[in-house]
Every structure is written in structure tokens, then in C-alpha cells.
């Protein structure tokens, strides 16, 4: 399976993401610069964390207007898995691929530590290897991870089982403890915590491995089913 | 040339942690009368004159300058002063 890790000016978790796929999963991956990327040939698209465009205006807002977003939208519409982590999640929100918006953390601090998360939905492309309700430890590293949406959107998220991860001890003030959501179709996941930084015991947690393995497993199964 | 001053603020229902911290700071400085502070941003654009200037500025706000999920905006158009 071939992954594209899209690199924007100011991305800084791109290499972690690449390492997780290439060295831990032993799958194929390329770091692709946002201006020269052709995403057609890839099976999945990863939007890494960082501070694209210095977080100018709003986190993710400038990257969301870049041309590559049109490609990402087109590939997402075809059903390809798209995973946005941290700033990647903020970009997906600003681009309208996921509903809601991010605000400054409730305590106004940049927080960088490990947080326990609950797998709220294990019937997704990204979480099928986890158990329903499983508690996993992923690092967070953000100043603007306070997820906000209006009540009607929240009801829709709940009704469609779009809430994939929640915080066990909400660190940032997110509505309904939301740490990660997917789109209605199920192939786009955005999350603030970093699964790519939790792929080896040496890093303090290897709980993120199953997320990437789920993507690969589901891709293989659909590939076989369509062959 | 026109100057367009765009004001972006958080919607009234949206919690503003920064504003809250500012309000508390002002209160602790002795300005007990301050009941609320809301932080926004002001973006000044210099724009060539055109017939549909206001409509295009509204588009710019909807597409980029404000995030409609949490923010609202207003703007004023002024004659640019030549320097």
C-alpha cells in the first residue's frame, strides 16, 4: 500500500508520519511537497502536524486554500483514506472536509504530553483493529485543539457515529471530549492526538500502530474484494 | 483605491478563552467594571475600486478571512488617503 505524506511549509511531523508507515509498518510512503504532488498514484493520504504557514490567520486556514486541497478533495471523494493529524486535522476542518472548527485550548497553554483516549467507534477504516471502548495512549502537542461545533452538528456527529476518539480527561475544552472525528462517508479522519508518535515502546506508547494497521488491513480487504 | 477594514469577531455563543483571561487581568488591575472582553482581529485591505467591491469583500470574508463556524465579520470601506 502506498501512502503520500503531504508536506506544507511549516509541517513538522511529516518525518514522524513517514517513519511510522515506512519503518514500522514496512509499507510504501513518499514525502510529497504540496506544490508538486500528484496524489493520483497513492492509496492513502496523510496530512501531518506542524504549523503550516506559521498558523497565520487561523491554524490550517492558509493551507486549506492551497491548490493541493482540490486534489485531496477529489481523492477523498473517490473513497481513498485521508488522515489528518493535529495541524492536518485543522486543515481538514478549514477546508470543509470535516465539520467544526478549532479554538485556543481552554487554559490558553500549548500542551505537550501523553493523553489517554477512548476508541468510541471501532467500526471505521482507521480503528477496526482496536476494541470498542479500548483506552489508548497518544501524545498531544497543540495550542489550538479545543474542538467546537454547534449543537446541531454535534447531534449529527453522534447520530452518524462520526466521533472516533474522545479524551478520557478532556485537556483542552473540546465539545463532548472530542479528540477525533470522521466524515459521513467514513474515509476521512481528523484527530488532534498523534498516533504516528506512538508507534514504538521506546516512544512511550505503541498504541498508534493499530491505527495504521487498520488502514492497511481494510485497504487489502477491499482490494481483494474488488479484484 | 479604497481601504477596507474588516473586523472579525467570535460569534456571541462561542467561548473566548483569551477574552476571559483579559477580562480577569483588567479586573485584577482594579477595573472591576469590565464584565466581558472579546478578542477579535482587524484586517486592513487596500483594494482597487470596482463596481462590486462590497460583494467581493464579502466573498473574501466567507472564503478565507473569517471562519463561519465560530466567527462573524463586518467591514467598512473608506477612501484611501494617498501618501
pLDDT digits (tens, 9 = 90+) for A119-174: 999 999 999 999 999 999 999 999 999 999 999 999 999 999 999 999 999 999 99
Q: Is pLDDT at B81 greater than 80 in this prediction?
A: no
The C-alpha cell that represents A46 in the structure block:
496523510
Residue-level pLDDT at B83: 59
The percent of residues in chain A predicted with pLDDT above 90, rounded, is: 96
Min mean pLDDT across A36-40, A42-46, A183-187, A204-208 is at A36-40
Q: Would you call A101 and B70 a contact, using CB atoms and an 8 Å cutoff? A: yes
Please state the rounded mean pLDDT for residues A42-61: 95
Residue-level pLDDT at B82: 67
Residue-level pLDDT at A91: 97
Please state the rounded mean pLDDT for residues B72-77: 96
**pTM, 2 dp:** 0.93
Q: Would you call B63 and A65 a contact, using CB atoms and an 8 Å cutoff? A: yes
Taking CB atoms and an 8 Å cutoff, what residues of chain A touch B69?
A: 93, 99-101, 148-150
Interface check A144 vs B, CB under 8 A = no
Taking CB atoms and an 8 Å cutoff, what residues of chain B touch A105?
A: 17
Please report the ipTM that was assigned to this predicted complex.
Answer: 0.81
Residue-level pLDDT at A114: 97
Under the banding of pLDDT at 50, 70 and 90, the label for residue B15 is confident
Interface check B76 vs A, CB under 8 A = no
* Beta-carbon contacts of residue A199 (< 8 Å; ≥ 6 apart): A19, A20, A24, A206, A208, A209, A212
* Beta-carbon contacts of residue A83 (< 8 Å; ≥ 6 apart): A44, A45, A46, A47, A126, A188, A189, A190, A191, A215
Interface check B65 vs A, CB under 8 A = yes
Under the banding of pLDDT at 50, 70 and 90, the label for residue A220 is very high
Interface check A69 vs B, CB under 8 A = no
**Angle at Cα A217 formed by Cα A216 and Cα A219, nearest 5°?**
65
Amino acid at each position: 500500500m502506498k501512502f503520500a505524506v503531504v508536506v506544507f511549509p511549516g509541517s513538522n511531523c511529516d518525518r514522524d508520519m513517514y517513519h511510522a508507515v515506512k519503518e514500522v509498518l514496512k509499507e510504501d510512503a513518499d514525502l510529497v511537497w504540496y506544490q508538486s504532488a500528484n496524489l493520483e498514484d497513492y492509496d492513502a493520504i496523510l496530512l501531518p502536524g506542524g504549523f503550516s504557514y506559521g498558523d497565520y490567520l487561523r491554524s490550517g486556514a492558509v493551507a486549506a486554500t492551497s491548490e493541493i486541497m482540490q486534489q485531496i478533495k477529489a481523492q477523498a471523494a473517490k473513497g481513498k483514506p485521508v488522515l489528518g493529524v493535529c495541524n492536518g486535522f485543522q486543515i481538514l476542518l478549514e477546508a470543509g472536509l470535516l465539520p467544526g472548527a478549532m479554538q485556543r485550548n481552554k487554559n490558553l497553554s500549548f500542551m505537550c504530553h501523553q493523553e489517554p483516549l477512548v476508541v468510541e467507534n471501532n467500526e471505521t477504516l482507521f480503528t477496526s483493529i482496536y476494541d470498542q471502548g479500548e483506552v489508548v495512549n497518544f501524545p498531544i502537542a497543540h495550542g489550538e485543539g479545543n474542538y467546537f461545533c454547534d449543537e446541531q452538528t454535534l447531534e449529527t456527529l453522534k447520530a452518524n457515529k462520526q466521533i472516533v476518539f474522545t479524551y478520557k480527561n478532556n485537556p483542552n475544552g473540546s465539545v463532548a471530549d472530542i479528540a477525533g472525528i470522521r466524515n459521513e462517508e467514513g474515509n476521512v479522519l481528523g484527530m488532534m492526538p498523534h498516533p504516528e508518535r506512538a508507534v514504538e515502546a521506546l516512544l512511550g506508547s505503541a498504541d498508534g500502530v493499530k491505527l495504521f494497521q487498520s488502514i492497511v488491513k481494510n485497504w487489502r480487504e477491499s482490494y481483494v474484494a474488488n479484484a | 483605491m479604497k481601504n477596507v477594514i474588516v473586523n472579525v469577531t467570535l460569534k456571541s455563543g462561542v467561548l473566548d478563552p483569551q477574552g476571559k483571561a483579559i477580562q480577569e487581568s483588567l479586573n485584577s488591575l482594579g477595573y472591576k467594571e469590565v464584565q466581558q472582553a472579546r478578542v477579535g482581529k482587524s484586517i486592513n485591505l487596500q483594494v482597487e475600486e470596482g463596481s462590486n467591491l462590497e460583494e467581493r469583500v464579502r466573498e473574501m470574508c466567507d472564503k478565507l478571512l473569517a471562519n463561519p463556524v465560530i466567527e462573524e465579520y463586518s467591514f467598512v470601506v473608506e477612501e484611501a488617503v494617498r501618501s
